[in-house]
Amino acid sequence: MNPPDPTQMMISNFPRMLGRMTRGAPATPAPVPPELSRVATYSMSAPHVLQRQYALARDVVARSVGGDFVECGVCNGGSAAAIALGFRGAARHIWLYDSFEGLPTPKEVDGLDATSYEGRCVGSEDAVRAALRIANVAAEDCTIRKGWFQQTFQRPLPDAVAFLHVDADWYESVMLTLMTFYDRVSEGGVILLDDFGHWEGCREAFYDFAANRNIKPLLERFGHSQGFWIKGKPHNRGG
């Protein structure tokens, strides 16, 4: 009989607290740093969403998953700072991608309501840097790529990703992000779709990407919109 695969053992040992949390059962909340409430002013997400993003990052650190933190769709940096707090002390580089010109033009697949959001959600680099300062992120530990994904994804990319936060709203942006970064996500890493429950295009991009790659991710949900999976995690048994 072959010896156990250490990577699969690491993935299957996903902490019980987070497993209960994502399945909706009561859980003892992880200690929340005081900075989290301060970075919330830079986010459009509710505080409980930021807390769970922080908890996901802490879990990645606890499981020693290798790689950097990547966020595609940054706005004013609240979520980036919350997740960065989870990586504090773990020596992970932060890569942030945003046009800082608002949402691009949606397509029909993105849903009828999407058309009214073109150009909205405009963030600023100054606000992002302010949020990251609250999280005590040094300037040299963060790379901000300003511009549309079609251009910025052509520049040098991180070799390995431990946490990929896809907050890109529309089908084309979500699909391009997954196509660009999925293979760089380490086994046991987190892929978080911010808009899974909110925008039809995000959801369709996930379904199409999974079908094209012949993968069947174990998708977890929290909040009204967030969906995520742990790369390579096949089940929640034993959690």
In a domain, 224, yes or no: yes
In a domain, 237, yes or no: no
In a domain, 47, yes or no: yes
Q: What is the pLDDT of residue 29?
A: 54
In a domain, 94, yes or no: yes
- CA–CA distances in Å: residue 40 to residues 36, 49, 78, 81, 180: 6, 10, 6, 9, 29
- Of the listed ranges 5-14, 104-113, 220-229, the least confidently predicted one is 5-14
In a domain, 236, yes or no: no
Residue pLDDT, tens place only, 70-85: 999 999 999 999 999 9
Q: What is the mean pLDDT of residues 27-40?
A: 80
Q: What is the pLDDT of residue 32?
A: 86
- In 3D space, the residue among 74, 211, 196 whose CA is nearest the CA of residue 144 turns out to be 74
Whether this prediction's pTM lies above 0.85 is answered by: yes
In a domain, 65, yes or no: yes
Q: What is the pLDDT of residue 20?
A: 43
- Of the listed ranges 26-40, 170-184, 199-213, the least confidently predicted one is 26-40
Q: What is the pLDDT of residue 30?
A: 59
Number of domains in the chain: 1
In a domain, 173, yes or no: yes
In a domain, 239, yes or no: no
Which residues, including other chains, have CB under 8 Å from residue 60's CB and lie 6 or more apart?
Answer: 86, 87, 162, 163, 188, 189, 190
Q: Supply the DSSP string of 88-137, one letter for each residue.
A: TTS---EEEEE-SS------GGG-GGGGGGTT-S---HHHHHHHHHHTT-
Range of the domain at 58: 6-230
Q: What is the pLDDT of residue 215?
A: 97
Q: Where residue 55 falls among pLDDT bands split at 50, 70, 90?
A: very high
Q: Where residue 238 falls among pLDDT bands split at 50, 70, 90?
A: confident
- Of the listed ranges 20-24, 28-32, 73-77, 102-106, the least confidently predicted one is 20-24
Q: What CATH code is carried by the domain that includes residue 117?
A: 3.40.50.150
Q: Where residue 31 falls among pLDDT bands split at 50, 70, 90?
A: confident
Q: What is the mean pLDDT of residues 4-28?
A: 44
Q: Is the pLDDT of residue 6 over 90?
A: no
Please provide residue 160's backbone torsions phi and psi, each rounded to the nearest 5 degrees. Answer: -140, 145
- pLDDT above 90 coverage of the chain, percent: 82
Q: Is the pLDDT of residue 109 over 80?
A: yes
Q: Is the pLDDT of residue 133 over 80?
A: yes
Q: What is the pLDDT of residue 121?
A: 87
Higher pLDDT, 72 or 223: 72
- Of the listed ranges 18-27, 40-49, 122-131, 215-224, the least confidently predicted one is 18-27
pLDDT, the chain, mean: 89
